[in-house]
DNA sequence: ATGCAGATCGTCT
DNA sequence: GACGATCTGCATC
């Protein structure tokens, strides 16, 4: 299993699929962030191992879901091998299947507003705490091959100002010029990077 | 277009 | 008891 940074890049262009009884809801991954374990002061795993972060210490390919600000959920893919708590935050999707359901869940019909942020996309897909620890090799929630991104950009991660020397590291990745990337000031700090 | 306050609660100290 | 890996609505320019 790849480390967090490799996984964050390789998930771009993949289709994230939630298989519901009502049909598939899916979107192409357009924006991710890598969190690189105990040394990374931005990562939840930089603090002592806890109930919340437990799944990160298992093998990669499982869901790390957490609640933020008491309101939203953020969806992460655990990366790397056991006892190496890396993960990848999914920050933006381009809606593909089940767009009607997403609009209903989000209470808006504006396509660009549906999944352009980590909290928004969890609402759009209807994901909550119940998917904590779910195996992404199962048939409920998984990633599929979809498109090869033309160009990938990197920038500092969003809202990790507390992370000292880790704040400025370019561990946010997104598909260049895609309208479903979340809007943020440090978009302008982005730089083109080599495709893997 | 840009900026800021408020919502709201699980998790960790 | 304090604080978020966020988002929205309202204020002001």
- Residue-wise pLDDT for A28-56, tens only, equals 999 999 999 999 999 999 998 999 999 99
Q: What is the mean pLDDT of residues A163-182?
A: 96
Q: What per-residue confidence (pLDDT) applies to A186?
A: 59
Whole-angstrom CA distances from A85 to A82, A139, A171 are 7, 24, 16
- The nucleotide minimizing the C1' distance to residue A129's CA is B10
Whether the pLDDT of residue A195 is over 70: the answer is no
Q: What is this structure's pTM? A: 0.95
CA A196 to chain centroid, in Å, comes to: 18
- The nucleotide minimizing the C1' distance to residue A51's CA is B11
* Rounded CA separation A60/A77 (Å): 7
Q: What per-residue confidence (pLDDT) applies to A161?
A: 93
Whether the pLDDT of residue A169 is over 60: the answer is yes
- The nucleotide minimizing the C1' distance to residue A89's CA is C5
CA atom of A128 to C1′ atom of C7, Å: 17
- The nucleotide minimizing the C1' distance to residue A49's CA is B12
Lookup: tokens for A145: 């091959």
Name the closest residue (CA) to the C1' of nucleotide C6. A119
* Rounded CA separation A11/A24 (Å): 19
Exposed / middle / buried, residue A176 (Cβ in 10 Å: 0-12, 13-18, 19+):
middle
Mark the nucleotides of strand B covered by protein, meaning any atom under 7 Å from a CB. Answer: 3, 7-13
At residue A37's C-alpha, the angle toward residues A36 and A42, to 5°, is: 70
Name the closest residue (CA) to the C1' of nucleotide C8. A120
Residue A10 banded pLDDT, cuts 50, 70, 90: very high
CA atom of A35 to C1′ atom of C3, Å: 20
Altogether, the residues listed in chain A come to a count of 196
Whether the pLDDT of residue A25 is over 80: the answer is yes
Instruction: Compute φ and ψ for A30, nearest 5 degrees.
Output: -120, -10
Give the number of other Cβ atoms within 10 Å of residue A175's Cβ: 23
Q: What per-residue confidence (pLDDT) applies to A79?
A: 98
Lookup: tokens for A14: 């993949």
CB A119 within 8 A of CB A74: yes
Whether the pLDDT of residue A20 is over 60: the answer is yes
* Rounded CA separation A103/A39 (Å): 39
- Strand C surroundings (CB within 7 A): A 33, 35, 42-45, 64, 67-72, 74, 76, 87, 89, 106, 108, 113, 117-121, 157-160, 162, 182
């Amino acid at each position: 299993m790849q480390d967090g940074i490799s996984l964050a890049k390789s998930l771009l262009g993949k289709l994230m699929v939630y298989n519901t009884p009502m049909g598939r809801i899916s979107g192409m991954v357009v924006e991710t962030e890598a969190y690189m374990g105990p040394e990374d002061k931005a990562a939840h795993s930089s603090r002592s191992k806890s109930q919340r972060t437990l799944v990160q210490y298992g093998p990669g390919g499982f869901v790390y879901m957490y609640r933020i600000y008491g309101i939203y959920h953020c969806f992460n893919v655990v990366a790397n091998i056991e006892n190496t708590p890396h993960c990848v935050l999914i920050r933006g999707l381009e809606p593909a299947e089940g767009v009607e359901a997403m609009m209903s869940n989000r209470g808006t019909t504006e396509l660009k507003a549906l999944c352009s942020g980590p909290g928004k996309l969890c609402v759009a897909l209807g994901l909550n705490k119940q998917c904590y620890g779910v195996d992404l090799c199962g048939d409920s929630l998984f990633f599929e091959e979809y498109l090869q991104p033309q160009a990938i950009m990197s920038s500092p991660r969003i809202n990790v100002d507390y992370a000292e020397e880790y704040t400025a590291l370019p561990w946010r990745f997104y598909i260049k010029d895609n309208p479903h990337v979340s809007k943020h000031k440090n978009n302008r700090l982005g730089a083109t990077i080599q495709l893997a």
